[in-house]
Structure 1
Amino acid sequence: MKATIWHNPNCSKSRMALEALRSREGIEVEVIQYLRHPPSRDKLAQLYRDAGMQPREGVRTQGTDAKERGITEADADTVLDAMMADPKLIERPLVETAKGVRLCRPPERIEEIL
C-alpha cells in the first residue's frame, strides 16, 4: 500500500504519524514537506473532500492569525486561497492512502485508512 503524508518535521503529531507509517510492513511512504512543496489548490480541495471535511476544518489556528482573519469561518474558496498564499495555515499531518484521507490529529486516526 502507498501512503502519502503532507508533513512538517517540526510538528510532533506529524512526526508521530510518519513513524506510524514507517513502522508498518508493506507501506510505501511518500513524504511531502508541504511548507516547501505545498499541494496545488485542486489537490488540497480533493484531500479535504476525500477526508469528508470542509477546508475550514483543516485550518491551522495555533501559531497563525487564522481566527483573527476570519479564515476559520470563511467559505471553501476563501480558505483554499488563504492556504495557497500561506501554507502554514494547512493543519498537519494529512495522510492519503487508497482507503481515504485523514487529518491525523490525533495521530491514531491514521489507523482508519491503513
Structure 2
Amino acid sequence: MTVTIFHNPACGTSRNTLALIQNSGEEPEVVEYLKTPPARDVLADLIRRMGVPVRSLLREKGTPYAELGLSDPALTDDQLLDAMMAHPILINRPIVVTPLGVRLCRPSEAVLDILPNPQRGAFAKEDGEAVVGADGQRVSKDPAA
C-alpha cells in the first residue's frame, strides 16, 4: 500500500499529519511540494479526486495571494492552477493520498478518515492537544459524545 503526503516541513499541521500517518504504521512517500511541486495535471487530478473547487486549495496566508489578485471571482480554474504552478506556496497543505481517498488534511486529524490502518497508540499534536487515545481511538472533542 502507498500513502503519499504533499508536505511542508515548516508547517505544524503538515508535521502533525505526517506523524499521524506514521502512528498508523505507514511510512509514506513524502513529497516536499515546495522543492518538488506536482505537475499541473497531477495537481488538477488531486483536486478532482478531493471533490473540491480549485479555489478551496489556495493558501492566502504567507503567500502572494493578495498581490496576485487571486481573490477575483472572475478568475478561471485554469488561471488559479497557473498561479499555483508559478508559486507552489499557494498550494494549501498537507494533501494526503491513500487507497481510501485524497484529502486536504486541515486540521491534521482529518487524515484519520482516509488511513487504511488504525492508530497504534496515543497521539498528541505538537501543541499538546490529544488526538488519539492509548486505545488507538480518536479522542472526542465533544463532551457529550
Q: Structure 1: how far apart are the matches of 2:6 and 2:82? A: 18
1:102: which partner in 2? 103
Q: Structure 1: how far apart are the matches of 2:114 and 2:76? A: 27
Bigger Rg, which one = 2
Q: Structure 2: how far apart are the matches of 1:93 and 1:79? A: 18
Q: Structure 2: how far apart are the matches of 1:96 and 1:70? A: 30
Give TM-score scaled by structure 2 length.
Answer: 0.74
1:58: which partner in 2? 57
Q: Please identify which structure carries the higher helix content.
A: 1
Residues 112 and 67 (structure 1), Cα distance of their counterparts in 2 relative to 1, 3 Å cut: farther
> How many residues matched?
113
SS at structure 1 position matched to 2:68: coil
Q: Which of the pair has the greater relative contact order for Cα pairs under 8 Å at 6+ separation?
A: 1
Offset of 1:69 from its aligned partner? 2.7
Structure 1 counterpart of 2:45, which letter? Answer: Q
Give TM-score scaled by structure 1 length.
Answer: 0.92
SS at structure 1 position matched to 2:6: strand
Deviations 1:3-44, CA, capped at 9 Å, x for gaps: 10000000000000000011112x241000000000000000
Structure 1 counterpart of 2:21, which letter? Answer: L
CA RMSD of aligned residues (A): 1.2
Q: Structure 2: how far apart are the matches of 1:77 and 1:109? A: 27
Could you tell me the percent identity over the aligned residues?
48
Q: Gapped runs of 5+ residues in structure 2?
A: 116-145
- Asked if 1:19 is matched to 2:28, the reply is no
Q: Gapped runs of 5+ residues in structure 1?
A: none
